[in-house]
Structures are given as C-alpha cells and as structure tokens.
Amino acid sequence: MKTPWKTDKWFISPWSYLPEVTKKYSFAPKIKIHDVTLRDGEQQTAVVFRREEKVAIARQLDALGVHRIESGMPAVSDQDKAAIQDIAALGLKSEIFAFARCIPEEIKVVKACGCKGVVIEIPASDHMIKNAYGWTFDRAMKSSIDATRAAKEAGLYTVFFTIDATRTEVDRLLDIVQKVATEGHMDAFTLADTMGGCTPDAIYHVVKRAITRLKKPVEIHCHQDFGLGVANTIAALQAGASVAQTTITGLGERAGNVPMEDVVMSLLCLHGIDIGIRTQKFCEVSRFVMQKAKVTQPPNRPIVGDSLYEVESGIIAGWVRMARKEHPLEYVPFAPDLVGQKPVDIVLGKNSGPPSIEEWCEKLGIKATEEERMALLQAVKAKSFEKKDLLTADEFKAIADRVLQKTVARV
C-alpha cells in the first residue's frame, strides 16, 4: 500500500507512518483482543448483566471477531458460574477465559466451567498487599505459585495478572513475576495499570523490559483515569505486547476500561494493522451492550457516538456539500460504514450557516432566493437557541412556510 494513511476508508496524518516514527515499533506478529466486558466492564457502578444477557453479549462479541472473551468470575457468583458454563458450551470461535483469585479451589471451578484459560490476579505492589489486602508478601507469593501450578495441572492457559503493577518499582515487579513463572506457572503476563496512572512512554519502556527478561507473552490492561488508557495500550502493543485487554465502549470501574473500538481502529488506521475484528459491527454491538448495561454514552463518543456524523457547523456543512461526491474523507477521518455508523448528515441548529439552509431547501424541495435563505438561517438560529437543541424537519418546514409567506406578502 503506497499511502497507508489514505485509503478509500480512512484518511489520517501521514506523520504516523514516517520511518523516523515507526522504526522503534516492535508490534507482535499476531495481536489479540481479550474482551473483559463481562467481568471488568460489569464492575462499573450499577451495571448488572443477567445470565441470559451475558450469553447474548458473548454471542455479539464472537460475531464481532473478538479473539478471547473473559466471561466472568465463577467462584464468586452462582449466576456468573452458570452464565460462564452456558457461554463455554456455545462452541464459539472466541476462546473462553474466566477470572480467578490466587486460590487453587477457584481454579478448579474455572476448569469445571469448560473454559480454555484463566486470568489469575494478585496485587503486585507491597503497599497494596499490606494496605488493601492485609497480607504479608510471602503469603501473596505462595498463593500465586500455588494457584498458577493448579492452573497448569488443570490444563488451562494461564495468564498471571498483576494488580497495581504500574505503582510498583520496575525491578521489584519483574522479580515477582519471574519468581511466579519459575516456581509456579505462567503462559503470559498481564501488566495492569490498575489506577490509570502511567504514561505511554513509561508503558512502552516497561513492556520492552518485561518481554526481554521474562521471555513470555505480555498482555496489557489499562484504565482511563487520566484519559490515557488507549494511548497506553497502543504504546504497549508498539513495544511488543501481543494482547490488549479491553471492554466494549470503555465500560468499567471509575473512569472505565480501555474501549475496544478505539484500540482496534487506532491499529487499523494509524498503524495499518488489521487484527481481524469486524469493525463494521462496532455501533451495533456497542448499542446492544450499552442497552443491556443501562449506560448512556456521550453522543460524540469516538467511533460509536450517536451524533458523531451529524454536522451542524455551517463551515463544515460547506465542506460536506463541496466534497462528498468525490472526496468524502476530506471532512471525516474514516468512512461511516467502516464502523457501522449512519452516513454524514447536515443538521440544523444554532451553528448552522448558509450551506446548511441550501442543503435543507434542496432536501425538502423548497425554492428560496438568497435573501430568503438568509432569513431562514436567522430563524433557524433563533429557534435552536430557544429550544437549546437541533431542529426537526417539521420545525424547519414551519419556519420556511412562515418566512416565505412574509416574503410573498411584502412583494
């Protein structure tokens, strides 16, 4: 591809592909999405997924092409356990994982549910082990070793998940993980930025060090507390991490987890890496999950927002009218159909301009002079200001009838 920054589906900055920029990247040959909507996403305040809803969401994730589904924590909820058993029995293409604490008995429950893999969590930082769990460090290490050994014996793909990794001194963290990998078992290591308090440069640096030292696949799990979760996830992948743990549209505790849509689209458009996710289903799946979660997202939410492709500004409306037939990516970074969005639509509001009125007059077959269109524009702005909202087609028709009748009366 001669111009990976400009295709028939997206048009982004060519700076992203400058050799001086890309030379430091070490993307894994195969990158997977590990979706945690059914576990970490449900930890968002007031979100509850019932058994049948979890199964329905799992089907949606599988249809989306998600590589791994973390289906829940079977040892702490009978309903979760039942849902996980149901999901594992569906025969989905997605690999089914479950989450467990460092307790060997919980590993047995995961295995009995029919899962392929398990994510085993333990706090990594000494301060969290002491202050949040009330444990000694030795207890945490013994639990980690015993649980990961149990996972190996059960034949489960074992992901060792270090809570609060980014608030742990780097060498201390890697010492802990290496000890578990050596004395226990670990197929992959998850570096978790549990409090979302790290920077992309730091994530890149530590992921590189972890891969070099551990000689194991590294996964990345970030949160959005400083709004850097997506950037941190991409930085980890640039450094060689092979799995990104995400949720649908960023569901999750506090400020949320990393939105899958943002990561996948960043990889596809900004880095030219297609990981096999069916991006055309993003809006459909997001709306399905948000409805089940009873969570409302901002209308301008990246990629899946309901009003993302509505154009109110008169200036931008002019761009749309001028370019949409032959150059539709002059005014948006990616085509709406790439993510299942509705087409770009010029709407009427306080910020509309002459091109907006021209658009709506054409759409509704209204003939008006330039003077009449300016009168329509002022009336549209006034009505929108009064409503504090956009105008409907009927409201515009009513304004047009009134304004054009006045013009006729003056003549």
Q: Hey, what amino acid is at 132? A: A
Q: Which of 33, 15, 58 is nearest to 273 (CA)?
A: 33
Question: Are residues 243 and 219 in contact, defined by beta-carbon separation less than 8 angstroms?
Answer: yes
3-state secondary structure of 75: helix
Question: Are residues 269 and 27 in contact, defined by beta-carbon separation less than 8 angstroms?
Answer: no
Could you read off the pLDDT tens digit of each residue along the chain, which spans 411 residues? 789 999 999 999 999 999 999 999 999 999 999 999 999 999 999 999 999 999 999 999 999 999 999 999 999 989 999 999 999 999 999 999 999 999 999 999 999 999 999 999 998 888 998 998 998 989 999 999 999 999 999 999 999 999 999 999 999 999 999 999 999 999 999 999 999 999 999 999 999 999 999 999 999 999 999 999 999 999 999 999 999 999 999 999 999 999 999 999 999 999 999 999 999 999 999 999 999 999 999 999 999 999 999 999 999 999 999 999 999 999 999 999 999 999 999 999 999 999 999 999 999 999 999 999 999 999 999 999 999 999 999 999 999 999 998 654 554
| 200 token code pair | 């992309």
Strand ranges in 31-94 using DSSP code E only, listed in sequence order:
32-35, 68-70
- pTM for this model (two decimals): 0.96
3-state secondary structure of 309: coil
For residue 165, the 8-state DSSP code is G
Rounded to whole angstroms, the Cα distance separating 258 from 247 reads: 6
Rounded to whole angstroms, the Cα distance separating 125 from 340 reads: 42
| 401 token code pair | 């009838």
**Structural domains of the chain ordered from first start:** 16-293 (3.20.20.70), 310-410 (no CATH)
Residue 246, beta-bridge partner list:
35
Rounded to whole angstroms, the Cα distance separating 174 from 168 reads: 10
Rounded to whole angstroms, the Cα distance separating 381 from 217 reads: 56
How far, in Å, are 19, 64, 106 from residue 84 at the CA level? 45, 19, 14
